Chains A and B, each alone.
Chain A
Amino acid sequence: MQNFPLPDARGRFGRFGGRYVPETLIPALEELSAAYQDAKNDPAFMAEFEQTLREFVGRPSLLYYAKNLTERLGGAKIYLKREDLNHTGAHKINNTIGQVMLAKRMGKKRIIAETGAGQHGVATATACALFGLECIVYQGEEDVRRQALNVFRMKLLGAEVRPVSSGTRTLKDATNEAIRDWVTNVRSTFYVLGSVVGPHPYPAMVRDFQSVIGEETKTQLLELEGRINPDAIVACVGGGSNAIGIFAPYAYLENRPRLIGVEAAGHGVESGLHAASVAGGKVGVLHGSLMYLLYDENGQIVPAHSVSAGLDYPGIGPEHSYYAANGVAEYVPITDREALDGFKLLSECEGIIPALETAHAIAYLKTLAPELGKDKIIVVNLSGRGDKDVQEAMRVMTDMENAAKA
Chain B
Amino acid sequence: MNRIETAFATAAAQSRAAFIGYLPAGFPSLEGFTRDALTILEFADALEIGLPYSDPLGDGPTIQKAGEKALENGMTVLGTFAAAKALRAKSDKALFVMTYYNPILATGEAEFVAGAVAAGVDGLILPDLPPDEADTLIPIATAAGLKLTFLLAPTSTQDRIDLVTASSTGFVYAVSVTGVTGARVGIPEEVPLMVQNIKASTSKPVAVGFGVSNFETAQAVARVADGVVVGSALVTAAQRGEGLRELCTEILAGCAK
Contacts and interface: CB of A to CB of B under 8 A. Distances in A.
A19 B179 CA distance: 18
B64 A166 contact: yes
B104 A24 contact: no
B185 interface: no
A22 B57 contact: yes
Contact of A21 (B61, B107, B130, B150): B130
Contact of B57 (A19, A28, A176, A299): A176
A298 B103 contact: yes
Q: Is the interface of B mostly helix, strand, loop or mixed?
A: loop
A24 B155 contact: yes
Contacts, number: 120
A55 interface: no
A19 B178 contact: no
Given A22-B128, A295-B102, A27 B157 contact: yes
A192 interface: no
A299 B164 contact: no
Contact of A22 (B55, B106, B127): B127
Contact of A295 (B58, B106, B153, B157): B106
B160 A299 contact: no
B54 A301 contact: yes
A300 interface: yes
B46 interface: no
Given A10-B132, A183-B179, A285 B102 contact: yes
A23 B153 contact: yes
A201 to B, nearest CB: 14
Interface in A284-312: 284-288, 293, 295-301
Contacts of B153: 22-24
A17 to B, nearest CB: 10
A257 to B, nearest CB: 34
Nearest to B112: A299
A174 to B, nearest CB: 12
Contact of B152 (A23, A167, A298): A23
A26 interface: yes
A180 interface: yes
B178 A27 contact: no
Contacts of B106: 282, 284, 295-299
A320 interface: no
Nearest to A173: B55
Contacts of B164: 23
Interface in A183-198: 183-187
B176 to A, nearest CB: 11
A24 B102 contact: no
Nearest to B101: A285
Contacts of A295: 102, 106
Contacts of A179: 57
B76 A27 contact: no
- Chain B CB count within 10 A is highest, among A26, A28, A299, for A299
A26 B160 contact: yes
Contacts of B246: none
Given A19-B130, A21-B128, A284-B105, A299 B53 contact: yes
A152 interface: no
Interface string B35-54: 00000000000000000011
Contacts of A298: 76-77, 103, 106-107
Interface of A: 10, 18-28, 166-167, 172-173, 176, 179-180, 183-187, 282-288, 293, 295-301
17 contacts: A19-B132, A20-B128, A20-B129, A22-B58, A24-B155, A26-B130, A166-B61, A172-B55, A176-B56, A180-B60, A183-B178, A184-B178, A282-B106, A299-B53, A299-B107, A301-B54, A301-B102
